[in-house]
Amino acid sequence: MQSHAPAGGFMHAATRPASYRWMQLFMGIVCMAMIANLQYGWTLFVNPIADKHGWSRAAIQVAFTIFVLTETWLVPIEGYLVDRFGPRPVVLVGGLLCGIGWVFNSFAASLTMLYVAAAISGVGAGAVYGTCVGNALKWFPDRRGLAAGLTAAGFGAGSALTILPITAIIKSSGYEAAFLYFGVGQGVIVMLLAMALTDPRHVVSSLLKDKANRASTHVPQTRRDYAPMEVVRKPVFWVMYVMFVMVAAGGLMATAQLAPIAKDFQIMDVPVNLLGLVLPALTFALTIDRVLNGITRPFFGWVSDRIGRELTMFIAFGLEAVGILALYTLGSDPVAFVILTGIVFFAWGEIYSLFPSTCADTFGSKYAASNAGMLYTAKGTAALLVPFSSLLTAATGNWHAVFIVASAMNAIAAIMAWFVLRPMRRAQIERARIEATTLELANREAGQVERSTP
């Protein structure tokens, strides 16, 4: 069997075993783990850079802001390239840029060069992130929540295994060596894996079609593929975008205040014993972040594949709202502080699996990388809103208002998921069904006319 070559000139389709898509997913997860340090490992370098060059920490952190913005806001463009040319070239270039960015960091003798390196790294990380999530959505129409969650977990928890080696190299050889060695190593691994990534459109997939049909009995899915310019004209997309911003900003605002609340409650260094592990309260809370930030993404993604996206959102966002309020009222107890912090982190990180899968369900697989990339810019928007928490704290004299606002944003998003997004998405999917049916009938009639014409 052959496939019609879409834009970009694809090869003939090939038959692959059912396990092939799981291999593709695994390679995407590893790629995500390789770029995780660009975000989650950055904090290890700030103090050594400041100590060597005498730059202020605020000036150094501008580089991190540049990284987040370029990593986020350019994903729609990178997603478009994936949808047009496939995942291989985009991840290949992305891995190269990630490596170059960290190599530049190792030689940066000025803030300008540090900022340029951050921009290069951000573009590379966005290319890898957007491609791997988009590819997971295409390969797993029946398990989009789980596939997107596992992929996002690679980014959320991928730095866990390398934090200690990076710390050791910084102490023994300096931060420049850590940037250089890990930049080259991570970049090379991503580039090698890129060569093995396959576009799902290259694969004969009765497999994927059957899976998609089976998924539609659990999760409503569109029968039509919408291009990005069509998607931005759909109100349901902007409802998802607003919800994404509210939950992301609410979680970031609350978690950014963990150190101040621990200090205010005078529990920052109080030892907490849970399951035989003893750590200071704040350290324990931040450690739990790394673990639960990875677990929550595939967990809630898997749940959403079985009970629906909107109901899962309602549960998760509602849990986040309650968790933030409970942390605000009961956080003065060290054990409660650690447990409630875990709940807050657990109910927050799932946005990176729920929203991409919901977007693909609503607008189709063909342009999944581009469309999910547009939605992912909500992370950048949320990051821009987080500084307002500092303004709110300054205006009120304490952090209490921040927790009230963060909880309210999550509660509103939970209500919107069930009472606004759910009916709008179903109406959109029904319209898509009618449009697809009408188009099929028109094509069928055109074919009959063509055959009957001598």
What is the residue extent of each domain of the chain? 17-215, 223-454
Tokens of 100: 């170059």
- pLDDT value at residue 5: 42
Least confidently predicted of 157-166, 267-276, 332-341: 157-166
Alpha-carbon distance 205 to 197, whole Å?
Answer: 16
Q: Of 30-44, 145-159, 199-213, 235-249, which one has max mean pLDDT?
A: 235-249
Q: Which amino acid is at 142?
A: D
Residue 130 has pLDDT above 90, yes or no: yes
- pLDDT-based confidence at residue 401 (cuts at 50, 70, 90): confident
141-145, 191-195, 216-220, 282-286: lowest mean pLDDT where? 216-220
Residues 6+ away with beta carbon under 8 Å from 452? none
Per-residue confidence (pLDDT) for residue 212, from 0 to 100: 55
DSSP labels, 346-384: HTTTTHHHHHHHHHHHHH-STTHHHHHHHHHHHHHHHHH
Tell me whether domains 17-215 and 223-454 share a fold. Answer: yes
Question: Between the CA atoms of 211, 212, 218 and 220, what dihedral angle is there, to the nearest 10 degrees?
Answer: 180
Q: Cβ distance 383 to 252 under 8 Å?
A: yes
Beta strands in 62-196 (DSSP E): none
Mean pLDDT along residues 433-441: 84
Residue 82 pLDDT grade (very low, low, confident, very high; cuts 50, 70, 90): very high
Structure tokens at 213: 């049909």
Per-residue confidence band for 256, with pLDDT thresholds at 50, 70 and 90: low
CATH second-level architecture of 17-215?
Up-down Bundle (1.20)
Beta bridge partners of 273: 278
Per the prediction, the chain carries an average pLDDT of 87
pLDDT at residue 8, rounded to an integer: 42
Percent of the chain with pLDDT over 70: 91
Question: Do residues 401 and 393 touch, judged by C-beta distance below 8 A?
Answer: yes
Backbone angles phi, psi at 95, to 5 degrees: -60, -40
Sorting pLDDT into bands at 50, 70 and 90, what band is 202?
A: confident
Mean pLDDT of 260-266: 81
**DSSP codes joined into one string, 125-180:** HHHHHHHHHHHHHHH-TTSHHHHHHHHHHHHHHTTTTTHHHHHHHHHHH-HHHHHH
Does the pLDDT at position 2 exceed 80?
Answer: no
How confident is the model over 289-323, as pLDDT tens digits?
778 878 999 999 999 999 999 999 999 999 999 99
pLDDT at 204 exceeding the cut of 80: no
**pLDDT reported for residue 440:** 76
Q: Token pair of 9, please?
A: 């000139």
Task: Report the chain's terminal Cα–Cα distance, integer Å.
Answer: 29
Q: Is 223-454 in CATH node 1.20.1250.20?
A: yes
Tally of residues, the chain: 454
**Quick check: 299 and 350 in contact, CB under 8 A?**
yes
pLDDT at 1: 35
